[in-house]
Amino acid sequence: MSTLTQSPAWLALQAHQPIMAQQHLRELFKQDSHRFNKFSLLFNDILLDYAKQPVNEKTINLLLALARQQRLENSMSRMFSGEKINNTEHRAALHIALRAEHAVIVDGVDVIPEVKQVLQQMARFSDAVRNGEKKGYSEKAFTDVVNIGIGGSDLGPVMVTEALKSYGSPHLSVHFVSNIDGAQLSETLKQLDPATTLFIIASKTFTTQETITNAHSARHWFLAHGGKEKDIAIHFVAVSTNQSAVEKFGIDAENMFQFWDWVGGRYSLWSAIGLPIAMAVGMDNFYSLLAGAREMDQHFMTAPLEKNLPVMLGLIGIWQINFFSATTHAILPYDQYLHRFPAYLQQLEMESNGKRITRDGEVIDYSTSPVVWGEPGTNGQHAFYQLLHQGTQTVSADFLAPCQSQHPIGNHHRLLLANFFAQTEAMMRGKNQSEVRNELISQKIPEASLEALLPHKIFPGNHPTTSILFKKLDPKTLGSLIALYEHKVFVQSVIWDINPFDQWGVELGKQLAGKILSELDQTESANSHDASTNGLMNYFKENQ
Ligand code: G6Q
């Protein structure tokens, strides 16, 4: 038994859980008409409503006691002051420095001047490409940018570029290639003209197999379709921490945008890894994104725990995961522009907190990150909401939506939001037996069919949801929303006593694939693996 599950705050929550579990959410609303006022928070334009969670005042106090017991505020200060809290890699975790305005010290040096310098380099470069001043080898302005990167060097930039699509330039299209599957690169390149295409090779380490392979193939395509060796310097730039590998690839150090080992991959969209975002929406919008995140950082550091959005979002998650056994968490944005937000959060949460070992190396005996997934509403309603309403799994869900549409056509936005409100209400209330019976009677369903149909039409309700409503999905609000989730993940990691900033689980695949690749090149049959792997490899060899 770990000390966490035997600790006073944990045991108190465990004792309190059955009291909350036996009350239907409907009942909680009936008993207390002030739930919304008590259990919602407003920060700038962002409204966080957790009234449809199985909580009362006592629950919140007990969750806050757990946060205090785990010394959350101390961990927050340690992160913000640049301590090496990524203990397995001996690094600080300072994505907050990428958007800070005050000094942030790493190893005795203020990193902010360097951060600003790179931002200025990004501004000069993206402005010059966007206004056509910087041209391709045939003196034509660039029309397309291809970002080649994967994982943290892809998901954040893709998500933000999609989310801010309406802020994009009509003269410059930004594409993303991540997968080692040649289909993605080929399908992207077949629409492009090398003379007007700029490649960004984005890799913190500059050793990632997928990115380096795609980068070499892109370079080959460029040279085979009219580009010359000397033109590589104009058409290829790199974002990396590894200058020697960048130079070895053939990219001039002048065309390299630097970042630092204290920026984790999945926390890096605020750094030069955000260059494709700046290309797509312009540097002013990128600065607004940073400003939104900075405001959330300040709120996180200064607001009392009970009024602190990331803290409360994190603690509600702990309540669901550890005390109500919710093993999956749905992210349901009612905003088409946020269609990559669930995929982005999937990496942020699962790679950060999908761990089974404490900071000190002990095996954990409680649940950590849930499976995170989701799709935009209303599409999901016509697909998987059946399971949310009437399935057997406990799923917790975050619903997100903007009050204002960027495309106020007809009645679309009200219809969208009507669905948002209806779904969260239905998840909470459900439809009980007598309500279903009355409904069927009013539809004049004959008695015999009515009885047969009745159980299928019952919705148990009592499904927990959290709603996040914001005024408009502009760059600043988006920055705040992303930082809200970054800090929520951090809060949970502190409660669980795990390091959210390493990712050793990603390494195994990289090692194994290397060995197997050399065996696939050989003509003789594979026989050094288990029977299944040998069989699969040999079937591939025969049929490739
Ligand atoms: C993120 C992970 C991982 C990483 C990719 C790409 O936190 O570390 O997703 O971003 O493996 O790594 P490179 O940027 O080094 O190519």
4-24: pLDDT as tens digits? 999 999 999 999 999 999 999
Ligand 1 centroid to residue 15 C-alpha, Å:
41
User: Which of 185, 215, 186, 217 lies closest to 199 in space, CA to CA?
Assistant: 215
Ligand 1 centroid to residue 436 C-alpha, Å:
51
456 catalytically annotated:
no
Atom of ligand 1 nearest to the CA of 273: 14
Ligand 1 centroid to residue 501 C-alpha, Å:
12
Ligand 1 centroid to residue 519 C-alpha, Å:
26
Res 512: pLDDT: 76
CA distances from residue 182 to 70, 213, 234, 260 in whole angstroms, order as listed: 47, 10, 24, 30
Which residue out of 382, 444, 447, 456 is catalytically annotated? 382
User: Do residues 144 and 196 touch, judged by C-beta distance below 8 A?
Assistant: yes
Atom of ligand 1 nearest to the CA of 205: 15
Averaged pLDDT for residues 109-128: 97
Q: Give dist(CA 351, CA 349) in Å, integer.
A: 6
Atom of ligand 1 nearest to the CA of 267: 7
Over the stretch 275-312, which tens digit does the pLDDT of each residue have?
Answer: 999 999 999 999 999 999 999 999 999 999 999 999 99
The mean of the pLDDT values for the chain is 96
413 catalytically annotated:
no
> Does pLDDT of 136 surpass 90?
yes
pLDDT class of 509 with cuts at 50, 70, 90: confident
> Percent of the chain at pLDDT above 90?
95
Q: Whose CA is nearest to atom 5 of ligand 1?
A: 151
Ligand 1 centroid to residue 483 C-alpha, Å:
19
Averaged pLDDT for residues 223-250: 95
CA distances from residue 169 to 189, 346, 407 in whole angstroms, order as listed: 20, 29, 17
Res 12: pLDDT: 98
Res 405: pLDDT: 95
User: Do residues 393 and 460 touch, judged by C-beta distance below 8 A?
Assistant: no
> Does pLDDT of 48 surpass 90?
yes
SS3 category, 257: strand
> Does pLDDT of 137 surpass 80?
yes
User: Do residues 437 and 450 touch, judged by C-beta distance below 8 A?
Assistant: yes
> Does pLDDT of 2 surpass 80?
no
How many C-beta atoms lie closer than 10 Å to residue 124's C-beta?
13
Over the stretch 415-461, which tens digit does the pLDDT of each residue have?
Answer: 999 999 999 999 999 999 999 999 999 999 999 999 999 999 999 99
Q: Residues with Cβ < 8 Å from 252, sequence gap 6 or more?
A: 233
Averaged pLDDT for residues 302-329: 98
Res 507: pLDDT: 78
> Does pLDDT of 250 surpass 90?
no
Res 13: pLDDT: 98
Averaged pLDDT for residues 102-112: 93
User: Which of 387, 159, 189 lies closest to 274 in space, CA to CA?
Assistant: 159
Q: Give dist(CA 470, CA 486) in Å, integer.
A: 18
187 catalytically annotated:
no
Q: For the whole prediction, is pTM greater than 0.95?
A: yes
User: Which of 448, 486, 452, 537 lies closest to 267 in space, CA to CA?
Assistant: 486
CB burial of 95-104 (b: ≥16 within 10 Å; e: otherwise) equals bbbbbbeeeb
Burial of 527 (0-12, 13-18, 19+ CB in 10 A): exposed
Q: Which residues does residue 106 pair with via DSSP β-bridges, in sequence order?
A: 109
| CA of residue 494 relative to chain centroid, distance | 19
> Does pLDDT of 49 surpass 90?
yes
> Does pLDDT of 515 surpass 90?
no
Res 53: pLDDT: 98
> Does pLDDT of 132 surpass 80?
yes
Burial of 487 (0-12, 13-18, 19+ CB in 10 A): buried
Res 268: pLDDT: 98
Q: Give dist(CA 1, CA 364) in Å, integer.
A: 9
Res 408: pLDDT: 86
Ligand 1 test: best mutation among 95, 240, 263, 266, most atoms within 8 Å of CB? 266
Ligand 1 first shell, C-beta below 6 A: 150-153, 203-205, 208, 211, 264-266, 351, 503
Which residue out of 351, 355, 463, 487 is catalytically annotated? 351
